[in-house]
Structure 1
């Protein structure tokens, strides 16, 4: 497998965020964003933009954490594979290999520690879960914070559709109380209909765009979480469990 650079997830996210920021700067310079906020009478676009900013900050925090865990877990993977003979010892929350080499505190070393105690309980006759059940607990712990991101992505899409409905209500409401369709009234009607259609289209655009961009970011996180889980599962099944069971 090709070795990835340190903080590869964080670097990819920064590139994506930079491209998004550059695109927004161009859109602002061309007057597209100011036009969007000016025409949108429902102000839903403002809400979508604020929610997107908050969820991007949340995503950045998660990405830094996962990227750091990925780096430390790869270091644990290298340290264990570099040892010809492997003796694992756990003291409290610390994991040592070959008596004096302490593994970095990270997702993988925590899993090895729990796996060690789980097998120790089984050897003592106590009931304990299987390694597959334990890795599922860790996987759930890693993927739990991403659930809010997928929920918000779906919510922004629905907010865009809500803005579409409001826009059409505004558009149709402009002709509801018109009795005389003379030239001056027609101009006002067309103006109101144009504003309502603008609200419908721009809120839909904001909701779709922000929903897609949010989903892209959380998809990046999910892929790297799966990679971290697979790295942990492979190392423990091939290199760690045989040593623990043979201890």
Structure 2
């Protein structure tokens, strides 16, 4: 919560937490849509008409993955702020900084690159490998979004199959064709069709919205990677090369 307040209230902020604000705006729009749907009775019908309860599972998973998306956005935004800090610091100074102790992924990357340069003259090869490793660490966090969206799609498809099974089962239960049996069979068929359609809709909508949220995280990873490459190639590597020549 402190980081979120910092993103909004810090004077002259650097935009590192803009992705979190975009997520909050997207969630506000989704919440408004849910409130309007509930007011018209659509959400109530969605959950009450689904006998399989798969739509409830989809809703719970969507909330869980959305919370995870917010968490990684806050973490990545913190790393982005550190990258912007290093970019500004290296641009203002011509000296090689001391390797930072601890910190996050960006600080660890800078420290590893400085130590590697002091032990080996192959700066470009070390920098390339370390940048690839850093980029993989960032992208690994956002891959959960692809899995989550695909899971919601698959649950929607599962609900479609369950609805079809319910429809076929209602037809198989007809031992005779009297009015009461036919009425019950038709009601079961309608219920099965409702399960099939509603779970498909819930899975599609949930997967699309979740993909939108993680697209914000993917864009932040791109900005973070570009900033890291920028201060590495423009400032850090030239400073390290100059220090090597001065020795």
Give the TM interval when normalised to the shorter protein.
Answer: 0.7 to 0.9
The one of 44, 47, 51 equivalent to 2:61 is: 51
Deviation at 1:9, TM superposition (A): 0.4
Number of the residue aligned with 1:90: 98
1:244 counterpart = 2:237 = no
- Measured against aligned partners, the alpha-carbon deviations of 1:133-152 in whole angstroms (never above 9, x if no partner) come to 11111111112122222112
| Partner SS, residue 172 of structure 2 | coil
Query: For 1:237 and 1:108, how far apart are their aligned partners in 2?
Result: 15
1:143 counterpart = 2:143 = no
Deviation at 1:128, TM superposition (A): 9.8
1:5 counterpart = 2:1 = no
TM-score, scaled to structure 2: 0.86
8 Å Cα contact 1:121/1:128 also seen in 2: no
Number of the residue aligned with 1:117: 115
Number of the residue aligned with 1:200: 196
Number of the residue aligned with 1:134: 130
Higher fraction of strand: 1
Number of the residue aligned with 2:173: 177
Please report the RMSD computed on the Cα atoms of aligned residues, expressed in angstroms: 2.1
8 Å Cα contact 2:94/2:239 also seen in 1: yes
- Measured against aligned partners, the alpha-carbon deviations of 1:214-235 in whole angstroms (never above 9, x if no partner) come to 1111111111111111111111
The one of 6, 20, 35 equivalent to 1:25 is: 35
Query: For 1:233 and 1:92, how far apart are their aligned partners in 2?
Result: 18
Query: For 2:63 and 2:100, how far apart are their aligned partners in 1?
Result: 41
1:161 counterpart = 2:148 = no
Query: For 1:43 and 1:35, how far apart are their aligned partners in 2?
Result: 12
Is 63-72 or 113-122 further displaced after alignment? 63-72
Query: For 1:92 and 1:177, how far apart are their aligned partners in 2?
Result: 72
Higher fraction of helix: 2
Deviation at 1:130, TM superposition (A): 2.5
Query: For 1:130 and 1:237, how far apart are their aligned partners in 2?
Result: 12
1:190 counterpart = 2:186 = yes
